[in-house]
Chain A
Amino acid sequence: DTEVTQTPKHLVMGMTNKKSLKCEQHMGHRAMYWYKQKAKKPPELMFVYSYEKLSINESVPSRFSPECPNSSLLNLHLHALQPEDSALYLCASSQSTNEKLFFGSGTQLSVL
């Protein structure tokens, strides 16, 4: 199994909603990541978890809250988002933080 699975694939939410993005991998990878990608732009790093601990937060607003319940799962909790937060949210994993990344298929998020 070489997949990183993300759900949902599409999400539309209002600015007062609370929603969560989910990511799962069964490759035994110990590092997991959240990236944000706007149209025609490169992926931008948001968070890095290493061995289930948050190791990097790229000054992401608190309306984004990551969670790593175990080594296979990664969540991103969303609350009070803004329309400019609309983007493709990508989860990735790697064997360790200095190994190549494997991306999930992403969640296309629209904030109305």
Chain B
Amino acid sequence: QKEVEQNSGPLSVPEGAIASLNCTYSDRGSQSFFWYRQYSGKSPELIMSIYSNGDKEDGRFTAQLNKASQYVSLLIRDSQPSDSATYLCAVLYNFNKFYFGSGTKLNVKP
């Protein structure tokens, strides 16, 4: 079983702050990495994807990948109460299997 590890949280940040979410994975053969946001009782929604080392920015979101350290992170700038959700890290193995971390619950306090 491939492992994808996330701190379950909850991570609490004040409105307007930067939220930093982290994920580690066990298999060096992983090719692609994704962050999903899931509101309570809803389905996961894709936030970011990243495939190569470095940073990738999309609006208030920045994904960071370090394959040598087997580490991927998501930064949320100017956090809003509407960002309060569980964030799932997903890792693609063998070009056909997505494994999900258990998720980090983020609370953004007004």
Using a CB–CB distance below 8 Å, which chain A residues touch chain B? 41-45, 48, 50, 55-56, 88, 90, 97-98, 100-106, 108
Contacts and interface: CB of A to CB of B under 8 A. Distances in A.
Given A42-B100, A42-B101, A42-B103, A98 B92 contact: yes
B58 to A, nearest CB: 13
B102 A41 contact: yes
A46 to B, nearest CB: 12
Nearest to B88: A42
A43 B44 contact: yes
Given A42-B101, A42-B102, A42-B103, A102 B46 contact: yes
A103 B38 CA distance: 11
A102 B34 CA distance: 11
Contacts of B60: none
For chain B, which range describes its interface: under 10, 10 to 19, 20 to 34, or 35 or more residues?
Answer: 20 to 34
Nearest to B100: A42
Interface of B: 4, 31-32, 34, 36, 41-46, 49, 88, 90, 92, 95-103
Contacts of A101: 34, 44, 46, 90, 98
Nearest to B42: A105
Nearest to B105: A40
A43 B86 CA distance: 12
A45 B49 contact: no
A106 B43 CA distance: 6
Contacts of A44: 100
Contacts of A102: 46
Nearest to B90: A101
B43 A104 contact: yes
Contacts of B96: 48, 50, 55-56, 97-98
